[in-house]
Amino acid sequence: MLPAVTTLTLRRSRGTASFLLHWRDPRKVATAAGVYDVIPAGEFQPSSIAPHDLVNDFDIWRNIVREFSEELLGEPEHDGSRSTPIDYDGWPFYRALGHARSEGKLKAACVSAGLDALTLAATILTVVIIDDDMFDEVSRDAVQVNAEGITVFDEQGHDSGHGIAFTGQNVTRLLEREPMASPGAACLALAWRHRIALLSR
């Protein structure tokens, strides 16, 4: 069984943060339909059927970036069915995020791993923190509707934006009163618990 990688993306801006959500459209997905999840999330799998990619893609960061490109930018899914490997070094989106990591404008953290109590599906829970200017640059071409649902940019339903404020009130509301996928809920709760460490520079 392949584990999933669920990632909460935090846009960090002068002592505050915000985040996007993904509403999973029941007409488009077979699992976790009709619920909110953090963005991005997907199976930890190679991007193509080429044997080389079993090694080339065995990297959680590369998996997260591929999911970013699918869910945030609306690019075709890298689901293992292609015959052409990804040239990561030549991929501008991957290079931009990698440069942001090396410059300290982006950091990634694994906050836990868990099993769904109902399905026993395994999930690696991660958080990516991106400085506001870099977030705005890489999400400039973000789409609201993608292959699996709708990106929630704010609480008013706009088709772009900086995200929902990362506050105790919003986290509590989502965890207690909104339909959240269990991995996304766990990721959000853990990120809030460790927010001081995660948001520090």
DSSP for 135-163, written as a single string: HHHHTTT--SB-SSEEEE-STT--SS-S-
139-170 per-position pLDDT tens digit: 999 999 999 999 999 888 777 788 999 999 99
Model pLDDT, residue 32: 85
- Record the pTM: 0.93
Phi, psi of 198 (to 5 degrees): -70, -40
What's 29's domain CATH number?
3.90.79.10
51-69 per-position pLDDT tens digit: 888 888 999 999 999 999 9
Lowest-confidence pick of 20-29, 120-129, 156-165: 156-165
At a CB cut-off of 8 Å and minimum separation 6, what does 79 contact? 43, 45, 47
Give me the number of domains the chain comprises. 1
Model pLDDT, residue 79: 66
Both tokens of 31, joined, read 């699992």
Range of the domain at 145: 4-199
